[in-house]
């Protein structure tokens, strides 16, 4: 989870206080995963240590305002541009579940997949609702939601394919 | 509010008797947004047609606010369609020889509302759907999205309690689909209406409060 | 709802249908009028009789042959007539027809008949006015005689007949003077008729064609016929020259002796057949266009039903559209038929088409009825189906 890179991006806009950084981070990620202050300060320390950000003004003053350094800007660009481990398609949570399901009987597998599909649809409903209630202008958030929706759609399609196949095989066996 | 109880329907197809619905049970509560999802041929459109009194059924009961629709004759059904239901179709189904305004006002003609009162009803709808500037155009001059919005205006002309939409975004691109779905969701909330939508696209179905899946003539 | 090309053919077809229908109605009305006129004439004719001479055997399919009598023969025939009966001989000069002058000019093409004063009451006309000089005798002319020469009723001129001045004392219409049959037996069918006193006819060049007889009031029809038979017998016994017989028949029997006017019947039948064809084609045209229109508009009907229309609303809309088009076609057809009937009447002499208010009203009624049927029958297909089916081009999925 690249919390530090989000901080760097936020600091390109303006110099910020730790508290502000947390607020903005949470809001950006739609409060899906809120940071605790421990995470915030450990991240900031690491960034400072690596020279990506610098403290502004008096080190002794109460308010610690940070600013981004040229090195920081470079790091941010580098991170944005390089293809990383976006999603480990074959080895995410679902893959592990599938491996587990292999052990179960076909009938149980079928029922679990049906329940799984229902869950996926419920999640998509949630995301769609969020999209509807999103105020104007939050392009980033909208795109994020769209991505989630499309990914869910893909998973649902896959689930349907599985169910079809299982049904066919079931017919063949019976 | 709408209650389908073990509805069965079959029709004579090219290969013989086809069972479209094999015992469908469905309850639609007042004010809810329900999506019926399924592949083409599963019977979801048939269910919608039965709900809207656009088609009959072979056996089972269909109650509208506790009243059995079997007691209704053709005139009674027409009255229901006029008063309670508004329809939106995948193919828009606008009358090509009428303007946007006239198409939207179509239900008012059958309600026998005098023509002088039409503008007061239709114009606000057109404005809400961003169609006011197109009121004198013909459907052939409109884009898909504009045509569907005209159809939505028509479905709301009689201020029905229930909106029935059959693949409303089926002929639209993704941008227009989103726009239409936002409109439908919004209009339905604002008017406190019941909305039943039928689709094969799960993204569209996800706009609903409740999603029900149909497969092979049955609800799963 | 209907495509422009359908509308065109609907209007055109309707107009054609109306034209044929109107012609039929006009000729039918004419037939009726003629029949009633004929009935009346027949009744009148039963009150009168004709005494004439004819060959014993008339070849089939020829008109009645009339053998004329000389004046003296006529005298003898008139003796056989019972006392108190009213009668009048009708005679014409077969040579040296009288020279008729008016205002110095010689008039040609005038048919001159000679008869006695009883000719007028026998023909239901008033006795001509008494002249200051009764010796001058009467001189009756036909209305068309005056009209043809441009003399108004008031300015009746003095005619000069064979140099003798004569004032016109009576005017009659040609129809009053003689029936169609009688005209066909006389030498010509001119309408310029002059009737002069019998006594003025020169014996040598005059022939009597027939003697008109009037049924006395006190006799019944059967008695009248019986008397006529006895007159016949008496004359034939006395003067029958083998091949030529005397015949005395009532006017109606006389008319019936002639073969019926076959020409009228065939014309009428021809018109009936054409009218039937025309109406049939117009009806087929209307029905098929209505059917096509309904078939093509299935989707429209489904949409309207979804918008809250009832099947009745749909039918009324379609009927209204059809009626509007048919009304246009009917008006067009009416106008066209009025013109055509006018020219047809001018062209054809003996068969007049009667175009009046009844024709228009009847055509309008038929049009509305045909419209109703043509729109309802194909519409029944729509009535059988549910709205959802109408919206789909293929069966439900």
C388: nearest CB among B41, B54, B110: B54
Helix pair angle (B74-83, C311-347), 10° resolution: 110
User: Which tokens is C338 given?
Assistant: 């009025």
Residues of B in contact with A124 (CB under 8 A): 202-203, 206
If you average pLDDT over residues A40-44, what whole number do you get? 90
Which residues pair with residue B37 across a beta bridge? B199, B213
CA C350 centroid distance within chain? 7
Interface test with B, best of A124, A127, A133, A167 (most B CBs within 10 A): A124
What pLDDT does residue C287 have? 85
What pLDDT does residue C154 have? 63
Q: Does residue B145 contact residue B114 with C-beta atoms inside 8 Å? A: no
B110: nearest CB among C300, C309, C391: C309
If you average pLDDT over residues A134-162, what whole number do you get? 87
Question: Domain ranges in chain A?
Answer: 3-81, 89-173
Candidate from A74-88, B104-118, C298-312 with smallest mean pLDDT = A74-88
Residues of A in contact with B37 (CB under 8 A): 121
B202: nearest CB among A114, A132, A153: A153
How is the beta sheet containing C193-197 ordered, strand by strand? C170-172, C140-142, C193-197, C111-115, C87-93, C206-214, C48-55, C244-250
A and C in touch (3+ CB pairs within 8 angstroms): no
Q: Is A121 on the interface with B (CB under 8 A)?
A: yes
Question: How far, CA to CA in Å, does B98 sit from each of A130, B93, B104, B149, C330?
Answer: 39, 12, 9, 15, 28
In chain A, the N- to C-terminal Cα span, in Å, equals 48
DSSP C128: P
SS3 call for C124: coil
A156: nearest CB among B185, B202, B209: B202
DSSP C69: B
Q: Kindly report, residue by residue over B131-152, the tens digit of the pLDDT.
A: 999 999 999 999 999 999 999 9
What pLDDT does residue A84 have? 56
What pLDDT does residue B124 have? 92
- Which residue spans within chain A are E strands per DSSP? 16-17, 53-55, 65-68
What pLDDT does residue B101 have? 95
A125: nearest CB among B182, B211, B220: B211
User: Which tokens is A102 given?
Assistant: 């292999």
Candidate from B69-78, B199-208, C52-61 with smallest mean pLDDT = C52-61
In chain C, the N- to C-terminal Cα span, in Å, equals 28
Q: Is A67 on the interface with B (CB under 8 A)?
A: no
Q: Tell me the range of A102-111, B95-104, C256-265 where mean pLDDT is highest.
A: B95-104
In the predicted structure, residue A101 carries a pLDDT above the cut 70? no
What chain B residue is nearest to C305 in terms of C-alpha separation? B78
Label residue A47 exposed, middle or buried (CB < 10 Å: 0-12, 13-18, 19+).
buried
Q: What is the pLDDT along chain C (397 residues), one digit of tens a residue?
A: 778 888 888 888 888 888 888 877 777 777 777 777 777 767 777 777 888 888 777 666 555 677 788 888 888 888 888 888 888 888 888 877 788 887 778 877 778 888 888 887 777 776 665 555 444 577 887 777 777 777 766 676 778 888 778 877 777 776 666 666 666 666 555 566 777 777 777 777 888 888 888 888 888 888 888 888 888 888 888 876 667 777 777 777 776 665 445 446 677 778 778 878 887 888 888 888 888 888 888 899 999 999 999 999 998 998 888 888 888 888 888 888 888 877 877 776 555 677 677 777 877 788 778 888 888 888 888 888 888 888 886 434 3
Total length of chain B: 220
Interface test with C, best of B8, B97, B110 (most C CBs within 10 A): B110
Q: Does residue C250 contact residue C48 with C-beta atoms inside 8 Å? A: yes
Q: Which chains touch C (3 or more CB pairs under 8 A)?
A: B
If you average pLDDT over residues A123-133, what whole number do you get? 90
Q: Is C266 on the interface with B (CB under 8 A)?
A: no
In the predicted structure, residue B175 carries a pLDDT above the cut 80? yes
If you average pLDDT over residues B41-64, what whole number do you get? 91
For residue C323, the tally of other CB atoms under 10 A from its CB is 16
What pLDDT does residue B140 have? 94
Separation CA A14–CA C37 (nearest Å) = 116
Closest-CA distance of chain B to residue A132, Å:
7
Cβ separation C386–B56 shorter than 8 A: yes
Q: Which residue has the tokens 């179960």?
A: A104
How much is the mean pLDDT over chain B?
91
Cβ separation B78–C299 shorter than 8 A: no
Separation CA C366–CA C371 (nearest Å) = 8
What pLDDT does residue C329 have? 86
Separation CA C196–CA C316 (nearest Å) = 72
Separation CA A148–CA C349 (nearest Å) = 95
Residues of C in contact with B49 (CB under 8 A): 386, 388, 396
C307: nearest CB among B45, B97, B154: B154
Q: What is the ipTM of this complex?
A: 0.92
Task: Give the fold, CATH level 3, of A3-81.
Answer: Arc Repressor Mutant, subunit A (1.10.10)
What pLDDT does residue C395 have? 39
How, if at all, do strands B210-215 and C87-93 pair? unpaired
User: Which tokens is C113 given?
Assistant: 């008949």
Q: What are phi and psi of C137, to 5 degrees?
A: 75, 170
Closest-CA distance of chain A to residue B169, Å:
16
Q: Does residue A153 contact residue A124 with C-beta atoms inside 8 Å? A: yes
User: Which tokens is A75 given?
Assistant: 């790091």
What pLDDT does residue B127 have? 92
Between B and C, how many CB-CB pairs are < 8 A? Answer: 75
Separation CA A73–CA A5 (nearest Å) = 10
Total length of chain C: 397
C and B in touch (3+ CB pairs within 8 angstroms): yes
Candidate from B157-166, B194-203, C260-269 with smallest mean pLDDT = C260-269
Q: Does residue B47 contact residue B21 with C-beta atoms inside 8 Å? A: yes
In the predicted structure, residue A103 carries a pLDDT above the cut 70? no
Label residue C130 exposed, middle or buried (CB < 10 Å: 0-12, 13-18, 19+).
exposed
Residues of B in contact with A114 (CB under 8 A): 220
Q: Which residue has the tokens 């049939």?
A: C280
In the predicted structure, residue A69 carries a pLDDT above the cut 60? yes
What pLDDT does residue C238 have? 82
- Closest by Cα among C202, C197, C203 to C170: C197
If you average pLDDT over residues A41-62, what whole number do you get? 84
In the predicted structure, residue A89 carries a pLDDT above the cut 60? no
Question: How far, CA to CA in Å, does C159 sit from each of C152, C165, C169, C194?
Answer: 15, 6, 11, 11
Cβ separation B78–C300 shorter than 8 A: no
What pLDDT does residue C164 have? 79
**DSSP secondary structure string for all residues of B102-137:** HHHHHHHHHTT--GGGHHHHHHHHHHHTT-GGGTT-
């Amino acid at each position: 989870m690249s919390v530090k890179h989000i901080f760097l991006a936020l600091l390109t806009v303006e110099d910020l206080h730790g508290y502000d950084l947390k607020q903005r981070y949470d809001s950006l990620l739609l409060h899906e995963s809120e940071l605790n202050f421990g995470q915030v300060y450990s991240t900031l320390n690491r960034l400072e240590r690596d020279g990506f950000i610098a403290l502004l003004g008096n080190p002794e003053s109460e308010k610690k305002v940070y600013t981004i350094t040229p090195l920081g800007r470079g790091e941010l660009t580098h991170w944005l541009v390089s293809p990383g481990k976006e999603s480990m398609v074959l080895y995410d949570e679902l893959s592990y579940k599938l491996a587990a399901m292999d052990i179960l009987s076909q009938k149980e597998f079928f029922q679990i997949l049906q329940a799984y599909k229902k869950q996926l649809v419920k999640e998509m409903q949630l995301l769609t609702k969020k999209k509807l209630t999103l105020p104007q202008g939050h392009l980033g958030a909208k795109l994020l939601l769209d991505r989630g929706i499309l990914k869910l759609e893909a998973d649902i399609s896959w689930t349907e394919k599985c169910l079809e196949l299982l049904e066919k095989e079931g017919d063949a066996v019976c | 509010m709408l209650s389908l109880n073990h509805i069965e329907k079959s029709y004579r197809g090219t290969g013989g008797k086809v069972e479209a619905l094999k015992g469908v049970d469905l309850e639609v509560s007042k004010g809810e947004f329900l999506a019926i999802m399924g592949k083409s041929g599963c019977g979801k459109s048939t269910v919608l047609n039965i709900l809207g009194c656009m088609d009959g059924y072979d056996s089972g009961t269909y109650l509208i606010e506790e009243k059995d629709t079997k007691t209704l004759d053709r005139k009674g059904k027409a009255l229901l369609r006029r008063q309670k239901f508004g329809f939106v179709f995948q193919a828009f189904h606008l009358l090509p020889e009428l303007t946007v305004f006239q198409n939207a006002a179509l239900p008012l003609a059958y309600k026998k509302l005098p023509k002088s009162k039409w503008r007061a009803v239709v114009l606000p709808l057109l404005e809400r759907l961003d169609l006011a500037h197109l009121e004198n155009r013909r459907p052939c001059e409109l884009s898909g999205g504009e045509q569907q919005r005209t159809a939505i205006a028509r479905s709301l002309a009689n201020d029905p309690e229930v909106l029935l939409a059959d693949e409303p975004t089926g002929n639209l691109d993704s941008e227009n689909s989103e726009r239409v779905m936002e409109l439908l969701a919004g209009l339905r909330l604002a008017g406190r209406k019941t909305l039943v939508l039928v689709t094969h696209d799960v993204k569209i179905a996800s706009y609903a409060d409740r999603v029900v899946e149909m497969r092979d003539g049955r609800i799963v | 709802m209907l495509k422009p090309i359908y509308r065109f053919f609907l209007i055109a077809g309707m107009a054609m249908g109306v034209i044929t229908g109107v012609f039929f109605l006009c000729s039918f009305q004419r037939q009726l009028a003629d029949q009633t006129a004929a009935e009346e004439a027949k009744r009148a004719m039963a009150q009168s009789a004709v005494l004439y001479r004819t060959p014993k055997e008339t070849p089939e399919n020829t008109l009645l042959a009339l053998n004329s009598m000389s004046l003296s023969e006529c005298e003898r025939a008139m003796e056989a007539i019972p006392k108190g009966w009213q009668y009048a001989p009708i005679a014409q000069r077969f040579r040296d027809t009288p020279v008729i002058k008016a205002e110095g000019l010689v008039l040609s093409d005038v048919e001159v008949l000679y008869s006695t004063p009883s000719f007028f009451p026998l023909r239901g006309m008033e006795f001509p006015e008494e002249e200051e000089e009764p010796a001058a005798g009467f001189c009756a002319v036909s209305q068309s005689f005056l009209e043809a020469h441009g003399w108004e009723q008031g300015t009746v001129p003095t005619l000069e007949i064979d140099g003798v001045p004569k004032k016109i004392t009576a005017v009659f219409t040609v129809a009053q003077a003689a029936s169609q049959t009688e005209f066909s037996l006389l030498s010509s069918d001119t309408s310029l008729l002059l009737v002069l006193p019998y006594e003025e006819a020169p014996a040598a060049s005059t022939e009597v064609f027939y003697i008109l007889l009037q049924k006395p009031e006190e006799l019944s029809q059967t008695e009248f016929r019986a008397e006529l038979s006895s007159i016949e017998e008496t004359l034939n016994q006395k003067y029958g020259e083998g091949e030529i017989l005397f015949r005395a028949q009532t006017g109606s029997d006389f008319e019936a002796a002639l073969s019926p006017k076959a020409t009228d019947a065939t014309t009428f039948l021809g018109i009936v057949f054409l009218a039937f064809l025309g109406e049939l084609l117009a009806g087929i045209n209307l029905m098929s266009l209505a059917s096509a229109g309904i078939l093509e508009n299935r989707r429209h009907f489904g949409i309207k039903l979804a918008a809250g229309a009832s099947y009745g609303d749909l039918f009324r809309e379609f009927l209204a559209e059809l009626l509007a088009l048919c009304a246009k076609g009917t008006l067009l057809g009416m106008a066209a038929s009025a013109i055509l009937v006018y020219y047809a009447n001018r062209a054809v002499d003996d068969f007049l088409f009667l175009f009046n208010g009844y024709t228009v009203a009847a055509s309008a009624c038929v049009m509305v009825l045909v419209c109703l049927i043509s729109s309802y029958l194909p519409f029944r297909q729509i009535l059988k189906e549910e709205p959802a089916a109408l919206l789909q081009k293929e069966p439900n999925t």
